[in-house]
Amino acid sequence: MMPPAIGAGGAGFRARVLGRRQIEIGIALLALLPLALFVLYPLWTILRESLLHPDGHWGLDYYDLYIRDPHFRQALLNTLSVSFWATLATVVIAFGYAFALKRTQAPLKWLWHSVILLPLFAPSLIQALGVQFLLGRNGIVNRTLGTDFDIYGFWGILISNVLYGLPHAYLVLMVALTGADARLYDAAKMLGAGGLRQFLSVTLPGARYGILSAVFLGFAINISEFGNPMVLGGDYNVLATEIYNQVAGQANFHLGAVIGVLLLVPVLVSVVAEKWIARRQPPISAQATPYRPARSWRLDGVMLVFLGVVAMAIVAVMGVVIVASFMRLWPYNLSFTLQHYRLDVPGGYGALWVSLKMSLIAAAIGVVVATVGAMIVQRLSSRLRQVLYLASVVPAAVPGMVLGLGYVLAFNQPSIPVYWLYGSILLLSLCTVYHYHAQAFLIATTGLKQIDHGLQEASQVLGAGVLHTARHVTLPLISPAMASIGMFYFMHSMVTISALIFLVSPGTTPAAVSVLLLNDAGNWPQAAAFATIIMVTIVAVIGVAKALVWILGKARRSAVVPSSSSHVNHS
């Protein structure tokens, strides 16, 4: 009688395993559905538009037409050239800045750290506006020195892209320079290595993966940047502006799709390379001794000057935009006025309310999507986890303009069930959510990895279900990461331009896009005013959000302590 019992038990076990496997597959498919709809489907429509001809046949004719055109070939070469040099300059400056803060005794480190992050709080084209006000034909430099320096073209794009990319590269390099083992520097000194030799043999090799990550990240940002070339490009065409000209200017969606695919390829390669390199970064050894830089008056002094020059450049470029917004007619009439803040243009302050609504919706949806997605990935088996993880980070390789064009082609079709989304603020929010989904997903994943799995296991051992454990254990523990995701989405939604430029309509034009349109129309004083309003709004909202998080955290800690004390006294 034993064999049949064992066989029945084995069959039951196999049935339970199969049932669990089917549930996992179902959950994975549900998690993949929104990614497929809002990322993969738009990308497919772009690829289809670039290959499908009006007569119904498929082919590479549009690619051949593009490659044969000298104008488009020059735009491709211009894009690669300015992106290469901007990336090189960005990484060199960002590395020097991070090195000064991590490996020297330069004073006021909190100030220098805050200054280099300022470009994150403004639309990317504020760098272009600032460079224009300082170095343009009627800028401060030309008027003061009597020169005729022309900033429009290669140099204008280069300078503004470097300023915009600095905080992104800096944050990567700060992490790379944080984990240093003092024993390596002690060994180098014992072998007679001086400061330069230590830098070349210890510092650079130790940060090599971070440097390469910053290079590929910077290249991906520079090659897909739209706002700066739009303001300062002049006759120097790049792929991002060519997409806009083909689609918005000539309604040539086929060539726009071809350019989008060509722009997607180098960005995809850069992002994949950056992720691969980041994974190869070795962890800090448990035996490592924290490195504390010794004071060197010469090195500290040189790096302090370097910090000051870079910080002054950032403050000058962003500050001149704020100052110009209060001048009657920059730079001819410098009398104080508030007239530019009246925004007496169609829509006026309505664009700011559109941005606020869009950003708040994006923050709410983004927190849920990123957190739930990360929690699902954590609980799946290895193969399903890899598939869903890969799908979740794919958006990092999609330039904003390419995703925005994909949304136009995908959702502007009355035959599809979600056509009602087109032209709504909700679609703008969803585009922003999935444009930045990879970064938010990784923040949530990092937060989940910091949780002691023993807590979740203990909850389930005591009889709590998965949903109860998630609600009462997991979510409270990752609430700081969720708050970070919400602030991340709000900040980027307020300043993004490229992903939304094709989706705007008279009633759904965000503030950042309005700044671009105002500058395009020659109304740059009001463009400066609106850019200033965006910066102030972001700082105010993020400040309030951080204060609320701090207050709630303090209240939660205060509630825990008395509860624990009363329990001890009762015992």
- Report d(CA 325, CA 523) in Å as an integer: 11
Count of other CB atoms within 10 angstroms of residue 488: 20
Residue 335: which H helix or E strand, with range?
Answer: strand 333-336
Length of the chain, please?
571
The partner residues of 327 in beta bridges, in order of sequence, read 336
- Report d(CA 166, CA 118) in Å as an integer: 10
pLDDT at 65: 85
Domain ranges of the chain: 345-556
Residue 354 and residue 510 in contact, taking contact as beta carbons nearer than 8 Å: yes
Residue 382: which H helix or E strand, with range?
Answer: helix 382-393
pLDDT at 284: 55
pLDDT at 305: 96
pLDDT at 130: 94
Residue 333: which H helix or E strand, with range?
Answer: strand 333-336
Orientation of helix 2-35 relative to helix 350-379, angle to 10°: 160
Residue given tokens 């969803």 in the structure block? 430
The partner residues of 329 in beta bridges, in order of sequence, read 333
Please give the C-alpha separations between residue 388 and each of 106, 332, 446, in angstroms, as whole numbers.
44, 57, 16
**Burial grade of 37 (CB within 10 A; 0-12, 13-18, 19 or more):** middle
Largest CA distance in the chain: 104
If we measure between CA atoms, which residue out of 439, 559, 553 comes closest to residue 488?
A: 439
- Report d(CA 222, CA 88) in Å as an integer: 11
- Report d(CA 383, CA 122) in Å as an integer: 40
Residues whose CB is less than 8 angstroms from the CB of residue 30 and which lie 6 or more positions away in sequence, other chains included: none
- Report d(CA 325, CA 323) in Å as an integer: 5
**Burial grade of 340 (CB within 10 A; 0-12, 13-18, 19 or more):** buried
If we measure between CA atoms, which residue out of 370, 385, 355 comes closest to residue 491?
A: 355
pLDDT at 567: 47
- Report d(CA 39, CA 391) in Å as an integer: 9
Question: What is the residue-wise DSSP string for 133-153?
Answer: HHHSTTSHHHHHHT-----TT
**3-state secondary structure at position 394:** helix
Count of other CB atoms within 10 angstroms of residue 428: 31
User: Among the CATH numbers 1.10.3720.10, 3.40.50.300, 1.10.260.40, 1.20.120.420, which is that of 345-556?
Assistant: 1.10.3720.10
- Report d(CA 516, CA 531) in Å as an integer: 9
pTM over 0.95: no
For residue 58, which phi and psi values (nearest 5 degrees)?
-100, 145
Residues in the chain with pLDDT < 70? 1-21, 179-189, 191-196, 200-202, 278, 280-291, 344-347, 450-474, 555-571
pLDDT at 379: 78
Share of the chain above pLDDT 70, in %: 82
- Report d(CA 528, CA 378) in Å as an integer: 45
The single-letter code of the amino acid at 186 is: D
Produce one character per residue of 52-91: b if its CB has 16 or more CB atoms within 10 Å, e if not: beeeeeeeeebeeebeeeeebeebbebbeebbebbbebbb
pLDDT at 448: 78
Residue given tokens 């709590």 in the structure block? 464
For the chain, helix (H) and strand (E) counts, in that order, are 27, 2
User: Which is it for the CA torsion 18, 23, 26, 31, positive or negative?
Assistant: negative
pLDDT at 547: 87
